[in-house]
Every structure is written in C-alpha cells, then in structure tokens.
Structure 1
C-alpha cells in the first residue's frame, strides 16, 4: 500500500532497514569501546586518559551541535510516516471507487511533493 502511494519515496526508510542500521551502529560502538580499552592498556602512564576523554567529548559535542536537531527532525518524520500509513490504510478500508482513488492519489502527490 505504501509503495503504491509513493509513501516510501516521500518519507524514507522501512523498519527493517532502520533495525539493520541500528545493529550496525551498536556493533561499531562495541568495537570502539574494545579499541579504547586496548589503547588504555598500552598508553603511557603520564597521560591522564580521563582528561583526554573529557576533551575529546567536548570537541565532539562542539562539532556536532546540529546532530540532536537532525535526530529530532527524523523522529518527527517517522511519526508523520506512521500516521500517513494509518490514514492510507483507513482510506482503502472505505472501499473507494477507482475514480476516488485516482483523485486522492493526484491530491496526495500534489500536496506532498
């Protein structure tokens, strides 16, 4: 239903792809943590690793200040996507005639592109 109404193109990714990307990022986090632990074991004792970690985190936060804003926008888009899917499903449950479906698709495309 979503594919027929061009909803996937309008709003992005499916749940399976999102889960797959989440799994990839979780694996990367685990790998990075292991790398950090290995580095801490090899690092000279004269380096204050906690202070270095704090400085790196501050640098990252400063550089990626837009990231939380973009994540919030993506969250809103997912909510709109789910709502649109429910509305389309409800529309098709009304058993509309072909002419009504065609008109609705035209209106949908005109208002969402």
Structure 2
C-alpha cells in the first residue's frame, strides 16, 4: 500500500481532510449530536443512546478525541464526555472557509 503523502499538502488541506474523515461515519455524527443534545458533560451510557457495542463507541470516541472535537474525563468508574467548544469553533471556521467558496467560472465549462 502506498503512503498518503500528506506532507505534500498544506496544513489547511490536511485539516479539512481530517475533519471530513471524522464526519465520514454516521456513528461519530450520532455521538456528536447526542453530546450537543444534552449540552453538558455526558457521563451516561452512549451505548444505550447510540445502539452500538461499547468497543465500537469507544473507538469512535477515540477518533473524536484525537481530533480534539470531544474531551473526556474519568469520574469514578465512568468516563464523561463533552464537546470541546474551543476546538469545535476552530473546526467550524476552517470548514466554513472551505465550504463558502463559490464557483466564479461561467457555465461554459463541462457541458454535457
């Protein structure tokens, strides 16, 4: 298998790709939606809320934490999670700049 060669792309391009990857699985989207829905630190059982096995939820949380969109803390025997507001805001700014691009060429390109 070849290397991803991420070093040939800008930091911005790599960030956008990582954000897109984390949103590329519906379980991670569901986890984020659940955390936004409760709008506080969530110490409950995401397995019951999302409907996936604990190891699967843990793996998706790990991806979200690695990217910094979610943070967690251990309280007794449970781990509590919440959205990292600072990193979420930064991610939104990066993605908004990318998604707000408009096509400036005429409609003469790529006609069927």
Give the TM-score category using the shorter length: under 0.3
TM normalised by structure 1 equals 0.23
Write 1 or 2 for the structure with the bigger share of strand. 2
TM normalised by structure 2 equals 0.23
